[in-house]
Chain A
Amino acid sequence: MKFTLNGSERTIEADGDMPLLWALRDVVGLTGTKFGCGAALCGACTVHVDGTPVRSCQTALSDVEGKSVTTIEGVGGEVGTAVVAAWRKLDVVQCGYCQSGQIMSAVGLLSENRKPTDEDIDAAMDGNVCRCATYQRIRAAIHEAASNLA
């Protein structure tokens, strides 16, 4: 299975039905993408496929053949850098386990919408669960990143 992973061409020997999540974690060895529910209910496994946030637990490896996959380890660019910087400035994280997915969703939002309202944030981020309930700081960090991107 061939695809681009964080900017580099990769060929992976694995069953095409294997969820991208497990291919990344168990075959490639990139563990920044997290397993939370296995059913697209929590967003911990969010990665980008051709720039769009998807839940990697419900994306088959064969679905990304020939496509470009970005994980938390590959976050960069203007938006990605601004989001990570805002997360650090506001000390958003607690346990941190969901934050890879939160950041991938936030980067997806800000890539499409440079000035999201609170309602836009609710809509884009409601699929990402944080049991530590860091939501207030996630919201503030998205606004912070947006202001730095303006």
Chain B
Amino acid sequence: MHIIKPADYARMLERLAPAAARDTALAAPSRRGFLKAAAAVSGALVIGVRLGPSEALAAAPTDGPMPNAFVKIAPDNTVTVLIKHLDMGQGVTTGLTTLVAEELDADWGQMRAAFAPADAQLYNNLLFGPVQGTGGSTSVANSWEQLRKAGAAARQMLVAAAAEQWGVPADSVTVEKGTLKSGSHSGNFGAFAEAAARQPIPKDVKLKDPKDFKLIGTRLPRLDSADKTDGKAVYALDIRVPGMLTAVIRRPDRFGATVKSFDAAAARKVPGVVDVVAVPAGVAVLADNTWAAIRGREALAAIEWDESQAENRGTAELLEEYKALAGTPGLKAARRGDASAGLAGAAKTIESEFAFPYLAHAPMEPLNCVIEKTADGVTIHAGSQFQTVEQAVTAGILGLKPEQVKIETVWAGGSFGRRANPPADYIAEAATILKAIDGRAPVHLVWTREDDIKGGYYRPLFYHKVRAGLTADGKVAGWEQSIVGQSFITGTPFEAFIIKEGVDGTSVEGASDTNYAIGNFAVDLHSPKVKVPTLWWRSVGHTHTAHVVEVTIDELARAAGRDPVEFRLELLKDKPRHTAVLKLLAEKANWGPKPGTGKGRGLALHESFNTVVGSVIDISIVNGQVKVDKVVCAVDCGIAVNPDVIAAQIEGGVGFGLGAALHDEITMDKGVVEQSNFDGYVPLRMSEMPKVEVHILPSANPPTGIGEPGVPGVAPALSNAIFDATGQRLRSLPFRLEDFKA
């Protein structure tokens, strides 16, 4: 996801928060401060850290100090870290807890994690401004100092408490693996939790020199492995509230249609069905169990939809329109030198086009949430990724203030971008149902897989047209790229801040800001209006831009008769991180010797979310079919907090990217989505998963993103490998793998 300037987010929220709630909209964080508060809660030490916000925020209006509790030390010697981000599988509970444990010199075995309550003041994403939210692969990056400071402050208070009780100087107290020692004295954190809570808050703390890290950089076991392997982990779908009704919604077949009339008589007769109500999204059937709700929905009759505002075009027609648009001048997303003059003088020119389908995120846990009325507002139980946005949207629907909307965040069964939705769609649906039944029962809104696959908020359909040329001596003479695809930012409160001079940064990132030193360079953007709701999908713009750039670079290298590694290195001369990753990759993948007959190998290198990933894919052609044998990745993501979690994210990113390269595709016929479940929208399965090897470049720089950057390089490296093996160039996704001859 694109990272937006903090000040922009504050303004965005003002727009987002409905009028009823605006006067209480999230005040900007208070003045620059540090370690403002700590509080003793039932014998536990709770350490609050207030970080210096960015300069942009420091200039914003200020309030009093607002403690920000991250660390709880209990008398039973457990240390619980409050996790302000959603863990949807990317392992942030483990990574963020490690940051605290490191500076606390805790023992990993005593560390626990708990999701923080929704609170934009206390638990905001420091890169998002006063907004709690997870995205853009920022969780560790924005918490890097904040949580280490929280751990260091807690350590200092524990040391002071121990020194006081033992009557020794504080600097004689050492801390190692959760044990405080001085001379013959020794004690654990739990023994000093209460006394530490009475210590003054340190004004400043010294953080460790990275060379002294004991936990960061090691392969600590994940905190969620046990509960996720015995059925105990609680996801939103597992929330059970007394009196809760399960709701499913019958939605229109075409995006933009609304319900006109329906006959609920048969649905109401289904045993277990309690109510049927019209909501903006369609017709909601409420029942005392999920099966009854689904059967009740099937029994809805005579539904008439108003399709006057609906999208009636199919994907084939849209693609034709996009192709025509690509041939016309668009908005200027990038300009360097003179691309057309460069191309006019080129010795060789490549012209190519690439189509990318709509993609559903299809997280394994279908979207769902529970909303219940409480004495002072509502509580939502959800795998919540945009807590602040969801509070504002819900407050608007129910006529509450955002702080009256409590969110209990739970484990999320995947997201890939889907749960971070500016309109907070499924949360809003649940709120509208609660409103429609006057809040008389808690509502568990459940999407079925069909709702998910057909429900929109897809990665947009994109079309790229490229002309790139070489000079007689094999240098890049010029590059012209036209990108066509919907903006999912337009029409949201984000619009005014992400879209600059008409150009949606999330549509062109990865192309307009390419790291290759191409002198004559032009990227144009067209953002046509289509009524299909769209959204960021794991790695956002890079899902398509990286593919186009890396395939085109490969084509240029081959046209120049150059080795693809050497060709890239030359274009990355003043990019030391990219150069280092590429060199490590070439070494680890044993780049150089041409693979044998029936084999191919391809390369891609791409930066996204401040992380550089290089990928080499080895394939075989077996009976005319492509088999992906092995993927070797090299990664520079700054300091590797947990190398094993990082490896897991790259392994998973490769699988996710491979699914998109080989299978994933949403198509529409006259506006109606043609896929509905995992038979039509085909996920990658075990037998297709290659061996993945991950090499992490040693680094002393702060951590950068890791949840998304494994995805973008997969499809282009595969295209390049297929060309290497067969001489056939596949550009559009998903690849049609038929009848290959090696």
Q: Is A30 an interface residue (CB 8 A)?
A: yes
Cβ of A73 and Cβ of B411 under 8 Å apart? Answer: no
Cβ of B366 and Cβ of A35 under 8 Å apart? Answer: yes
The closest CB in chain A to the CB of B651 belongs to A136
Cβ of B290 and Cβ of A138 under 8 Å apart? Answer: no
- In this complex, how many residues of chain B approach chain A with their Cβ under 8 Å: the count is 64
What is the distance, in angstroms, from A123's C-beta to the closest C-beta of chain B? 8
Q: Is B238 an interface residue (CB 8 A)?
A: yes
Cβ of B271 and Cβ of A15 under 8 Å apart? Answer: yes
Cβ of B290 and Cβ of A134 under 8 Å apart? Answer: no
Residues of A contacting B685 in the complex (Cβ-Cβ under 8 angstroms): 126-127, 129, 135
Q: Is A39 an interface residue (CB 8 A)?
A: yes
A30 to B658, CA, bound (A): 34
Contacting residue for B230 out of A38, A84, A98, CB 8 A: A84
Cβ of B414 and Cβ of A139 under 8 Å apart? Answer: no
Cβ of A125 and Cβ of B412 under 8 Å apart? Answer: no
The closest CB in chain A to the CB of B678 belongs to A41
The closest CB in chain A to the CB of B684 belongs to A133
Instruction: Pick the interface stretch among B155-163, B357-365, B571-579.
Output: B357-365
Q: Is A51 an interface residue (CB 8 A)?
A: no
What is the distance, in angstroms, from B367's C-beta to the closest C-beta of chain A? 12
Residues of B contacting A122 in the complex (Cβ-Cβ under 8 angstroms): 686-687
Residues of B contacting A139 in the complex (Cβ-Cβ under 8 angstroms): 686, 689
Residues of B contacting A125 in the complex (Cβ-Cβ under 8 angstroms): 686
Q: Is B328 an interface residue (CB 8 A)?
A: no
Cβ of B449 and Cβ of A29 under 8 Å apart? Answer: no
Q: Is A49 an interface residue (CB 8 A)?
A: no
**Given A36-B366, A138-B686, A94 contacting B226 (CB threshold 8 A):** no
Cβ of B225 and Cβ of A91 under 8 Å apart? Answer: yes
**Given A96-B411, A100-B231, A26 contacting B289 (CB threshold 8 A):** yes
Q: Is B224 an interface residue (CB 8 A)?
A: yes
What is the distance, in angstroms, from A71's C-beta to the closest C-beta of chain B? 7
Q: Is A64 an interface residue (CB 8 A)?
A: no
Q: Is A130 an interface residue (CB 8 A)?
A: yes
Interface readout for A18-56 with B: 1 if CB under 8 Å, 0 if not? 110010011101111111111101101000000000000
Interface readout for B643-679 with A: 1 if CB under 8 Å, 0 if not? 0110010011111101100000000000000000111
Contacting residue for B413 out of A97, A103, A126, CB 8 A: A97
Cβ of B449 and Cβ of A98 under 8 Å apart? Answer: no
A73 to B233, CA, bound (A): 11
Q: Is B199 an interface residue (CB 8 A)?
A: no
Instruction: Pick the interface stretch among B85-93, B113-121, B435-443.
Output: B85-93
Cβ of B237 and Cβ of A128 under 8 Å apart? Answer: no
Q: Is B221 an interface residue (CB 8 A)?
A: yes
Q: Is B213 an interface residue (CB 8 A)?
A: no
Q: Is B110 an interface residue (CB 8 A)?
A: no
For chain A, residues 107 to 148, give those with C-beta under 8 angstroms from any C-beta of chain B. Answer: 121-123, 125-139
Q: Is B240 an interface residue (CB 8 A)?
A: yes
Q: Is B597 an interface residue (CB 8 A)?
A: no
Q: Is B291 an interface residue (CB 8 A)?
A: yes
What is the distance, in angstroms, from B415's C-beta to the closest C-beta of chain A? 8
**Given A32-B231, A34-B237, A37-B678, A137 contacting B648 (CB threshold 8 A):** yes
A26 to B295, CA, bound (A): 15
The closest CB in chain B to the CB of A101 belongs to B364
Contacting residue for A32 out of B221, B232, B413, CB 8 A: B232
A18 to B272, CA, bound (A): 12
Cβ of A91 and Cβ of B221 under 8 Å apart? Answer: yes
Contacting residue for B651 out of A35, A87, A137, CB 8 A: A137
Q: Is B166 an interface residue (CB 8 A)?
A: no
Q: Is A72 an interface residue (CB 8 A)?
A: yes
For chain B, residues 436 to 458, give those with C-beta under 8 angstroms from any C-beta of chain A. Answer: 446, 448-450
Residues of B contacting A31 in the complex (Cβ-Cβ under 8 angstroms): 231, 234, 237-238, 240
Cβ of A95 and Cβ of B449 under 8 Å apart? Answer: no
Residues of B contacting A126 in the complex (Cβ-Cβ under 8 angstroms): 685-687
The closest CB in chain B to the CB of A84 belongs to B229
Q: Is A88 an interface residue (CB 8 A)?
A: yes
Q: Is B228 an interface residue (CB 8 A)?
A: yes
Residues of B contacting A35 in the complex (Cβ-Cβ under 8 angstroms): 237, 290, 366, 446
A38 to B366, CA, bound (A): 11
Q: Is B260 an interface residue (CB 8 A)?
A: no
What is the distance, in angstroms, from B274's C-beta to the closest C-beta of chain A? 14
Cβ of A133 and Cβ of B449 under 8 Å apart? Answer: no
A123 to B687, CA, bound (A): 8
Cβ of A94 and Cβ of B644 under 8 Å apart? Answer: no
Cβ of A91 and Cβ of B229 under 8 Å apart? Answer: no
Cβ of B692 and Cβ of A136 under 8 Å apart? Answer: yes
**Given A95-B411, A96-B413, A122-B687, A135 contacting B655 (CB threshold 8 A):** yes
Residues of A contacting B651 in the complex (Cβ-Cβ under 8 angstroms): 133-134, 136-137
Cβ of A26 and Cβ of B231 under 8 Å apart? Answer: no
The closest CB in chain A to the CB of B271 belongs to A15
Name the residue among A29, A95, A121 with the largest chain B CB count within 10 angstroms. Answer: A95
Interface residues of A (CB under 8 A from B): 15, 18-19, 22, 25-27, 29-39, 41-42, 44, 71-73, 75, 84, 87-88, 91-100, 103, 121-123, 125-139
Taking A34-B364, A38-B677, A95-B363 as given, write out 9 further A-B residue pairs in contact, using a Cβ cutoff of 8 Å, ordered by the A residue number. Answer: A26-B246, A32-B232, A34-B237, A91-B222, A95-B89, A131-B416, A133-B654, A139-B686, A139-B689
Interface residues of B (CB under 8 A from A): 88-91, 221-222, 224-235, 237-238, 240, 246, 271, 289-291, 294, 362-366, 411-416, 446, 448-450, 644-645, 648, 651-656, 658-659, 677-679, 683-687, 689, 691-692
Can you report 5 residue pairs joining A to B where beta carbons are below 8 Å apart?
A35-B366, A91-B645, A126-B685, A131-B364, A133-B655
- The 4 A-B pairs of least Cβ separation, nearest first, read A32-B231, A133-B655, A97-B413, A95-B89
